[in-house]
Amino acid sequence: MSLMVAVLCSGALINAYRSFTAAQSVSLYASIERNLFQALSVFRYERGGSVSALSLPNGDNPAGLKQLAERRERVTLALNAALAGADADIDPALKPLFEQLRRGYEQLKILRQQIDEQLARPREQRDTRIAQRMLTEGAGLLATLEEASTAVEAQIRSIDPALSQLILARAMAWATRAEVGSGNLMLNEVVGEGRPLNEQEWKTLLINNGRFTFSWATVREIGLAPNAPPALKAAVDAAQNAFFSGPYKTLRDEVIANVSNGRPAGIALQAWRDRSEPGQTAIANVAAAAVDAIAVRATLAEAEAERQLAGYGLVLLAAVALAVAGLVVVLRRVTVPLSRLTGVMTQVSGGDLTINVPYIARTDEVGAIAKALMVFRESLTRTRALEEAAEHN
């Protein structure tokens, strides 16, 4: 029985090990994805902050420069962690993409030094090409980060399809942020210039609104599902209140109504930006919450797989121990006694009728064999006595 349990546990242990290695892979990819997304999210602001800083005179932007330094540090930490994770045992098909990302990161380091050199100069002496390079090369790095993030998410989905909904929520929230940002850039322009939308801008804004309305509906469906992580639900609610309903939505609708009907927006540019940025940030936070939820679930799955692996391992060890103990019992209680009785029988058959027969007192099968051997020995003893008596007479 113990041997059968051991065999069954061996199969379960193999399956548990496979589940554990798969969970480890998902956890690794989730960690890489988290860092990629962090870099992707923050580098957008570093890029814009760098270009903005290059356009301002020395001493006019101390808070902006401090914020730029903080964002650089966050991007650096995230990229270093993502690239370190990619040096581990990941799918070889991803290696070229991460090498491309590594090269882009090295170029960014050089570009940062050049930006700092320009910022140390008076504004009129700065090379305007540096800002353009940050826009162009920064766009390339953002595209590589997005591509790497998508590829890593595909790996996660292929190993653990149960995470597909969270991955979709991340993608749709990020698409919503992109469409909202694109629309607000257009509105920033017309608000700042104090003019209405032209016909082409109006069509573009309608398309833009339709896209983010669709993508956001998908995010809400996933984020508000009964089994959705609480943090994701909270982020979805916050974004819904910050952008899609409440005072900001009323203001946005009024601004769009004004500029689409030939009237001024009715709000100053800075006031408009101050009111619109929290909503965009809240939408980006939904994507971040989805990424965090993926990482948390991957970590929990790895811990559960490790627990199962350890559990089956302990059961297997116990089954093997029982089997060994059973074998020892068989050896001591059956095999050794039978071997001794066989030896005694051989000696009795050879004529040694004085040998003691062991295990007579036992009441099991071994005792029965010993008693039968005793009867055999006594029978031979009587036969020999009769033969000796006959020879004597």
Question: So where are the chain's domains?
Answer: 1-159, 160-302, 351-392
Query: What's residue 349's pLDDT?
Result: 72
- For the segment(s) 1-159, the CATH number from 1.10.287, 1.20.120, 1.10.286, 3.30.310 is 1.20.120
Q: Which residue has the tokens 């942020």?
A: 177
* pTM for this predicted structure: 0.73
Buried/exposed code over 115-124 (b: 16+ C-beta within 10 A; e: otherwise)? beebbeeeee
204 vs 182: CA distance, rounded Å: 10
Q: How many CA atoms lie within 13 A of 55 on its CB side?
A: 9
Q: How confident is the model at residue 339 (pLDDT cuts 50, 70, 90)?
A: confident
Cα 322–Cα 327–Cα 332 angle in degrees, nearest 5:
125
Q: Is the pLDDT of residue 73 over 90?
A: yes
Point out the least confidently predicted range of 140-144, 279-283, 324-328: 324-328
Q: Which residue has the tokens 């993508």?
A: 215
Cα–Cα nearest to 52, from 67, 74, 73, 37: 67
CATH code at 351-392 = 1.10.8
Q: Is the pLDDT of residue 320 over 70?
A: no
Query: What's residue 311's pLDDT?
Result: 67
User: Across residues 229-234, what is the average pLDDT?
Assistant: 96
Give 109 or 301, the one with higher predicted confidence. 109
3 vs 331: CA distance, rounded Å: 16
Q: Which residue has the tokens 């069954």?
A: 8
Percent of the chain with pLDDT over 70: 85
CATH class of the domain whose range is 160-302: mainly alpha
Cα–Cα nearest to 209, from 247, 256, 245, 174: 256
Q: Is the pLDDT of residue 391 over 70?
A: no
Query: Do 1-159 and 160-302 come out as alike in CATH topology?
Result: yes
| Distances from the Cα of 306 to the Cα of 16, 31, 131, 236, angstroms | 8, 18, 50, 32
Q: Is the pLDDT of residue 368 over 80?
A: no
Q: How confident is the model at residue 329 (pLDDT cuts 50, 70, 90)?
A: low
Q: How many CB atoms lie within 10 A of CB 366?
A: 18
Give 87 or 4, the one with higher predicted confidence. 87
Query: What's residue 250's pLDDT?
Result: 93
Q: Is the pLDDT of residue 240 over 90?
A: yes
- The amino acid present at 134, given as its one-letter code, is M
Q: Which residue has the tokens 């808070």?
A: 63
Longest dimension (CA), the chain: 149
Cα–Cα nearest to 74, from 44, 29, 111: 44
Quickly count helices (H) and strands (E) in the chain.
11, 0
Q: What distance, in Å, lies between the first and last C-alpha atoms of the chain?
A: 62
Q: How confident is the model at residue 9 (pLDDT cuts 50, 70, 90)?
A: low
Query: What's residue 200's pLDDT?
Result: 92
Q: Is the pLDDT of residue 56 over 70?
A: yes
Question: Average pLDDT of the chain?
Answer: 85
Q: How confident is the model at residue 108 (pLDDT cuts 50, 70, 90)?
A: very high
Q: How confident is the model at residue 393 (pLDDT cuts 50, 70, 90)?
A: low
